Structure 1
Amino acid sequence: MRYFMEMRYHGAAYCGWQRQPDQPSVQQTLEQALATLLREPVSVTGAGRTDTGVNASYYVAHFDSPSPLADPCRMVYKLNFILPADIAVMGITPVGAEAHARFDACEREYRYCIEPAKNPFTRALTWQYFVPLDLERMNLAAALLPGFDDFTSFAKLNSNNKTNICRVHSAAWCRRDDGVLLFSIRADRFLRNMVRSIVGTLVDVGRGRYTVGQFRDIVASRDLSRSSAGAPAQGLFLSDVVYPPGVFRRGGGSGLFDGNEKSGMRWDK
């Protein structure tokens, strides 16, 4: 029996989602917890990789159980009891035998948070960047991204991508009521380090290092050496994974940075 598992995690303590030898990963941690409860080895497949230190306010993975779970809600409770505090499972849902958390996903969203002030309570969740940024220029540059499909300029070297083609559906910045700058980008897929590299380059547009036209040239060049250094990992969140209605419909609760971007940080979610 196959199940989709909705979850969220703080990525600071992990080498990323994917299992790595001799390094803690979110995937391995989940597999160990499930194996403890199901009393046999369990393989967990995620919606995609997140890099070292990157967070997920909404993530989907699937696993197979040799027999139907008697009470998925009870399984959620037990998993959360034994998982570390930085990983939380929000729901477990039975799906079709062929449903696949990665290959069936048709859209993903990442969000990046920049806080323009020193804040000891959010330093592990935002990039605290104190140089004034021109949000209008950054939005003009971000609006160019859906017009491209090759993102080699923002692809990590030696990442073994079969293709650097991505279809960006939307990309935009907003300023929330608490002053945090929030970047949201949706696409069918993302390359390793792609969002952090885009954010770093857009920040350089916002501080005047590049013009909007130069940003366009950087994307079109398909040359990684022309883009800026990637933004720090702690400000990045995978915030949504979308599936065709016949495969799976999101049911988990909202994440820390989901929902109304202008509502401020919602620590009660």
Structure 2
Amino acid sequence: MALSKKRYFIKIAYDGSLYHGWQMQPNAITVQELLDKAMSTYFRQPIETLGCGRTDSGVHATEFYAHFDVENIAEEKVLAAVAGINAMLPYQIAAYHIIPVANDTHARFDATSRAYKYYIHFKKDPFKLNRSWLVKDKLDVNLMNQAAKELLNYTDFSCFSKSNTQTFTNNCKIVKADFEQLSDGMVFTIEADRFLRNMVRAIMGTLVEIGKGEINIEHFKAIIESKNRSKAGQSVPACGLYLVKVEYDYI
């Protein structure tokens, strides 16, 4: 039986410290570029992946999906390719699984939810370099959690989005947003159906202002209602941000 083009998802993880984000760029090294190169070499045909989203320079992912098409290779050989692809990837990028999917599936548009975590630590720690944000100020985690819960009452998050993006809407449905105290810091978890460019880092920057006592919760709500990016807090460093979950109805 003649083989033809078949679509697959690949599940990967990466430490983004050395890379200029996921998406291919003309003058910078990205995760997508290295993954496409490794897979093209392994399968001996041009492979172009399309990711479930776009992570910025320095952002990490513990779970990331991309789809790709392969021609004239038996499915069992494609599914067994993970070890060979890993051998061609740098240590900062790991492939976990290859999953056969229908040819009309889409890693970005079919995702039903995504979750991010943002890590903060309070004492200088060389082992957290490029993996967590060092904050020397004392933060009130209870106030930050109260403010974070307000996010669930809104859908338009224009105030937390980079300007001049090509999205058709700034509406997102946030279903979880909370802080957890750790022994040496805290972690913020946020889950939604979709996210805008720079949204999580801008939300974090504004919530940190709450934690420092610089603004109150009523001010936080007014910022969201303003739909004005200049009213919100600064974008926090990329090093503490991780994409940790992407969900699909068929995976």
Query: Which of 232, 236, 243 lines up with 1:231 in the alignment?
Result: 236
Offset at residue 13 of structure 1 (A)? 1.5
Paired position in structure 1 for 2:126: 120
Paired position in structure 2 for 1:151: 157
SS at match of 1:209: coil
Task: Please say if residues 47 and 61 of structure 1, whose CA atoms lie closer than 8 Å, have aligned partners that are also in contact.
Answer: yes
Give, as a single letter, the amino acid of the residue that structure 2 aligns with 1:21.
Answer: P
Paired position in structure 1 for 2:3: none
Paired position in structure 2 for 1:62: 67
Offset at residue 70 of structure 1 (A)? 3.2
Query: Which of 27, 32, 36 lines up with 1:27 in the alignment?
Result: 32
Q: Work out the CA distance in 1 between the residues paired with 2:141 and 2:103.
A: 46
Query: Which of 6, 18, 35 lines up with 1:13 in the alignment?
Result: 18
Query: Which of 167, 170, 174 lines up with 1:161 in the alignment?
Result: 167
Task: Please say if residues 144 and 207 of structure 2, whose CA atoms lie closer than 8 Å, have aligned partners that are also in contact.
Answer: yes
Give, as a single letter, the amino acid of the residue that structure 2 aligns with 1:158.
Answer: N
Q: Work out the CA distance in 2 between the residues paired with 1:62 and 1:218.
A: 37
Q: Work out the CA distance in 2 between the residues paired with 1:243 and 1:70.
A: 23
Identity of aligned residues (%): 40
Paired position in structure 1 for 2:50: 45
Q: How many residues align?
A: 245
Task: Please say if residues 54 and 237 of structure 1, whose CA atoms lie closer than 8 Å, have aligned partners that are also in contact.
Answer: yes
Offset at residue 52 of structure 1 (A)? 1.1
1:171-203 C-alpha deviation (Å, 9 max, x unpaired): 000112x32201000001001100000001000
Task: Please say if residues 152 and 224 of structure 1, whose CA atoms lie closer than 8 Å, have aligned partners that are also in contact.
Answer: yes
Paired position in structure 1 for 2:7: 2
Q: Work out the CA distance in 1 between the residues paired with 2:95 and 2:75.
A: 16
Q: Work out the CA distance in 2 between the residues paired with 1:59 and 1:15.
A: 16
Bigger Cα displacement from structure 2, 188-197 vs 97-106: 97-106
Question: RMSD across aligned C-alpha pairs, in angstroms?
Answer: 1.1
Task: Please say if residues 206 and 233 of structure 2, whose CA atoms lie closer than 8 Å, have aligned partners that are also in contact.
Answer: yes
Task: Please say if residues 108 and 189 of structure 1, whose CA atoms lie closer than 8 Å, have aligned partners that are also in contact.
Answer: yes
Paired position in structure 2 for 1:87: 93
1:35-88 C-alpha deviation (Å, 9 max, x unpaired): 101111111011011111111011111111113343345411111111011110
Q: Work out the CA distance in 2 between the residues paired with 1:9 and 1:168.
A: 25
Paired position in structure 1 for 2:211: 206
> What TM-score does the superposition give when structure 2 sets the normalisation length?
0.95
SS at match of 1:144: helix
Give, as a single letter, the amino acid of the residue that structure 2 aligns with 1:191.
Answer: L
Paired position in structure 2 for 1:100: 106
Give, as a single letter, the amino acid of the residue that structure 2 aligns with 1:60.
Answer: Y
Q: Which structure 1 residue ranges, 5 or more long, are not aligned?
A: 249-269
> What TM-score does the superposition give when structure 1 sets the normalisation length?
0.89
SS at match of 2:245: strand
Task: Please say if residues 108 and 187 of structure 1, whose CA atoms lie closer than 8 Å, have aligned partners that are also in contact.
Answer: yes
Paired position in structure 2 for 1:76: 82
SS at match of 1:96: coil
Give, as a single letter, the amino acid of the residue that structure 2 aligns with 1:113.
Answer: Y
Runs of 4+ aligned structure 1 residues displaced above 6 Å come to none
SS at match of 2:202: helix
